[in-house]
Structure 1
Amino acid sequence: MTQLSRLISILTLLKSKRLLTATELSNRFDVSIRTIYRDIRKLEEAGVPVITIEGKGYTLMDGYTVAPVQFTEKQANALITAQHLIKQSNDQSFIRDFEEALTKIKSVFRSSIQEKSELLNENIHVFNTKNETISSNALSEFQLAITNFNFVEINYSKVYTDEKSFRKIEPCALYSTQNKWILIAWCHLRKDYRAFRLDRIQHFKILQEKFEDRKFSLIDFHKNENYPDT
C-alpha cells in the first residue's frame, strides 16, 4: 500500500470511529508506529483537523466532513447481503432503521455499482425455517437507552409462564440468538443483572432520568452459563 492510499484509509477510519490509537493503526496497516506518527503529521499538514488526545489516541474535530467514500462492487454486495440477513430479524425497528441507513449509503454508489447491486438484490434470498411469528419493535429505542444511560420502565412477560411484572431497569447490552434479541439490564426489582427477551416486553417507557455507568462487560456476563431467571 502506498502512503497516499494509507493516508486516505486512515482518514476514512478516523471518520468512522471516535478514537483510534497509533497501535491500532500500526497493526491494521502492518507498519511501524513511527510511520503512523509521520502519517498523522502529513494529514495535519494537509489541513485535516486531527486531534491528539494524550494517552487515548486520535480523533477528528467535530463537524469536519470529507467527500463521500467510494464503494467497491464487493463492498456493495456485502451491504445488500446484510440487508437480506437483517430482514430475518424479529425486530421491525431494526429492519426499518437499517433500510433507511442503506438508502443513504446507496446514494453515493456509482451508477454501475447501483445497477449491479439492484441485480444482486433480485437474485439473493435468505430462507428461514423457523415459523415463530413473535416479533418486537423496540431494538432501536433500547440501543439509544444503552448509549445515553436512560432508565427504562417495562412490563415484562416471563418466557415460561404467563406471569407479568413491572420493572425499572438500566439497559446495558444487547445480543441476538436464534433470531431473538436479548437485552441485558440491571433490574431494580431483582437487584441484579437480568436477561430480557425484547419480544416479551409488552410495554416500555424510556425515562429522561439517567443512571451511572456500571461498566458492564457482556463477555464477563456470558462466562456465567447459569443465567438468572428474569
Structure 2
Amino acid sequence: MVNLDRFTIFTIVTQLSRLINILTLLKSRRVLTATELSIKYEISVRTVYRDIQKLIEAGIPVITLEGRGYTLMDGYTMAPVQFTEKEANALITAQHLVNKSKDSSFVSDFGEAMIKIKSVFKSSVLEKSELLNKKIFIFDQANENVASNALSEIQLAITHFNYIEINYRKAEDPNITFRKIEPYAIFSTYQKWILIAWCHLRKDYRAFRIDRIQHFKILQEKFEDRKFNIKQYFKNCSVN
C-alpha cells in the first residue's frame, strides 16, 4: 500500500510544482497560451485547461483573452505560496519514500520538483523540515536489487497515448522478445513498478515489470484509447 501511495504523492507534487511555475509566469504579466504551456511542461492541452481551472478555483483571477491566451487580472497582487510546517513535513516524508523507488528517473524528477517547492518555504519552515529530513529512516526490505530508468518516459507515453517498442525478458526466461505495446496504467508493488499495456504480440493486455524491460523506444505514433478498466483487469490477469 505504501508503494501505491508513492505514485499518488509524486503526481500531486509534480502538479503542484507546475502550478507554482505557471503562477510565476502569470505574475510576470505574460500572456500564456495553452499550446505554449503544453510544450513547456510536456503535458496535453487538456491538462493545461485543468491546471488553469484549478488556479481559478483557488481564487487566482486568471483572465482568458479570446484568441490570445491567459493572464492575471490587472491590479492583482499574488500572495506568496505558503506551506504549514505539517505540510512541509509531509512532503519531506514523501521524498524519503520516493527515494526508495527502484526507478532512477522517478527519483530524479521528484527531486527536481521538490527543489522548486522548497524554494517557497518560509525560512522557519525550511529549517524545521531540514531537521526532520535528518531524522527519517526508511528501511528497504526488498531482496532483489534490480533498478530501472524508464518510468518518467513511460508516464508521458501513457498520458499522450504514444506507442512503445520494448525488448522484454520474463522472469526465469533467458530469451528476450520484441513487443509493440499501448501503455495504459502503472502500479507499484514490493518496490517494483509494473506497466499494464495492450501487447500487439499477444493481442491482449499484459503486465510488464519495468525493470525487466531491456530497451525501450517511445514512438511518435499514437494509438486509440481502448478504455482500459483496471478493476476488470485485476480480476483475471497476472504479472508476466
TM-score (norm 2): 0.70
- Which letter does structure 2 place at the counterpart of 1:182? I
Task: For residue 115 of structure 1, report the CA deviation from its aligned partner.
Answer: 0.3
How far, CA to CA, are the matches of 1:67 and 1:164 in structure 2? 55
1:126 alignment partner, one of 133, 138, 157: 138
The verdict on how the C-alpha distance between 1:104 and 1:47 changes in structure 2, with shifts beyond 3 A counting, is closer
Is the counterpart of residue 220 in structure 1 residue 240 in structure 2? Answer: no
Moved more, 82-91 or 66-75: 66-75
When Rg is computed on C-alpha atoms for both structures, the one with the higher figure is 1
Give 1:11-22 correspondences, 5 Å limit: 18=50
Task: Give the C-alpha shift of residue 47 in structure 1.
Answer: 4.4
Give distance in 1, aligned partners of 2:181 and 2:209: 13
Paired residues of 2:52 and 2:62 also in contact (CA < 8 A): no
Give the corresponding residue for 1:28: none
Whole-angstrom CA distance in 1 between matches of 2:83 and 2:143: 36
2:135 maps to 1:145: no
Question: What's the counterpart of residue 115 of structure 1?
Answer: 127
SS of 2:228's equivalent in the other structure is: coil
CA contact (8 A) 2:62 2:71 kept: no
* 1:159 to partner: Cα distance: 1.4
2:70 and 2:172 mapped to 1: Cα distance?
Answer: 48
**C-alpha separation in 1, matches of 2:235 and 2:52:** 28
Q: CA deviation at 1:131?
A: 3.1
> Which residue number in structure 2 is paired with residue 31 of structure 1?
none
**Partner of residue 178, structure 1:** 190
Distance (Å, rounded) in 1 between the aligned partners of 2:171 and 2:209: 8
CA RMSD of aligned residues (A): 2.9
5+ long unaligned stretches in structure 1:
1-11, 22-38, 51-60
Partner SS state of residue 105, structure 1:
helix
**2:107 maps to what in 1?**
95
> In the alignment, residue 228 of structure 2 is paired with which amino acid?
F
- The SS at the match of 1:213 is coil
Task: Say which SS state the counterpart of residue 205 (structure 2) adopts.
Answer: strand
| Residue from 190, 194, 201 that aligns with 2:206 | 194
1:62–1:207: structure 2 CA closer, same or farther, 3 Å change rule?
A: farther
Change (3 A) 1:204 1:88: same
Gap change, CA 1:102 and 1:160, over 3 Å in 2: same
What is the deviation of 1:218?
1.6
Kindly indicate whether the alpha-carbon contact (under 8 Å) linking 2:151 and 2:210 is maintained by their aligned counterparts in 1: yes
Q: CA deviation at 1:161?
A: 1.5
Counterpart code for 2:196: I
Structure-2 change in CA distance of 1:115 and 1:19 (3 Å):
closer
SS of 2:172's partner is coil
Counterpart of 2:5 in structure 1 is: none
For residues 168-196 of structure 1, give each alpha carbon's deviation from its aligned partner in whole angstroms, at most 9, with x where no partner exists: 00000000000000000010001111000
Output one character per residue of 1:55-95: Cα deviation in whole Å (capped at 9) or x when no partner.
Answer: xxxxxx85669544211000000000001111111100000
Compared CA separation, residues 204 and 72, structure 1 to 2 (3 A)? same
**Which stretches of structure 1, 4 residues or longer, exceed 6 Å deviation after superposition?**
none
Q: How far did 1:49 drift?
A: 3.9
Preserved contact between residue 196 and residue 207 of structure 2 (Cα < 8 Å): yes
In 2, Cα distance between equivalents of 1:91 and 1:211? 26
Return 5+ residue gaps in structure 2 as ranges.
Answer: 1-15, 21-46
Aligned partners of 2:72, 2:166: CA distance in 1, in Å?
A: 39
Deviation at 1:20, TM superposition (A): 11
